Amino acid sequence: MILYPMIELLDGRCVSLFRGRTDEPHIWHVDPVAKAKSFSKSGAEWLHITDFDAMSGDDRNAELIREIIRTVGIPVQLGGGFRSLERIAEWIDHGAGRIVVGALALHQPDVVKEAAKLFPDQIVLAVDVFEGVVVSDGWRQKSAFTPSAFLKAFENDPFAAIIITDIGADLGDAEDSLALIAGLASEAKTAVFARGLSRSLDDLSRLKYVPSVSGALIGRALFDGSIDFEAALEVVKPELEKRAQFI
């Protein structure tokens, strides 16, 4: 399982939000570029960035993100504010390794399908689930899609991966959220990454054994010290098969 350390940006600062509420961000007083490099130094294979300002059409973080892409030394998976094929192509030209789309897939699915064909293995589908349906636009808008129906609509498109987030995970039983993501992952024909289920090393230990989940995004827990990234890598690394001893 691959771990994706996650940097969420608002007004140039690293933040964590409660259900996408930008009016009450938890601000982490760290330099985003230095933090990105620290994840790379600790052994991360990928970095995930979410640009909350871009969701409202504000490009204030663009140069900061370009600097991270140029200097971090590992590929960057970027989400936030992708509303057109042109913007997707622009950020791929800027060096983003993957682009994450969510609202665009709900509102203009044909554009996302075209993007997946033009940029195979570089488009990631975000499936955010709240109260049994897919939500979008910073988790504020409910759709008419169940997550299963949403996955079905894109089952033949060449996505690099699918990120599944249970928005209600902090309210209910973590086991329920794990069961939800595991069930959806078993339906998907593409690699699934879990978001929002990695608050401790124990969470990662459980997630590691979910057969259809091949990655996890970790944000707040890396910033508040609940998870040490190097320790997390040790938890999820493949176990060597025991071999019979021959004399």
Active-site amino acid positions: 8, 128
Sorted by sequence, the CB contacts under 8 Å of residue 152 that are 6+ apart come out as 187
**Count of alpha carbons within 13 Å of 91, Cβ hemisphere only?**
35
* CA trace torsion 202, 205, 211, 212 (10° rounding): 60
> Are 180 and 172 contacting, i.e. CB atoms less than 8 angstroms apart?
no
> Are 136 and 100 contacting, i.e. CB atoms less than 8 angstroms apart?
no
Tell me how far CA of residue 137 lies from CA of 13, 83, 88, 96, 189, in angstroms.
20, 11, 17, 21, 25
Alpha carbon distance 186, 191 (integer Å) = 10
**Percentages (nearest 5) of helix, strand, coil residues in the chain:** 40, 25, 40
Of 9, 28, 8, 25, the residue nearest 17 (C-alpha): 25
Q: Torsions phi, psi of 78, nearest 5?
A: -120, 130
Alpha helices in the chain (DSSP H): 32-41, 62-71, 85-93, 103-107, 109-118, 147-153, 174-187, 201-208, 220-223, 229-236
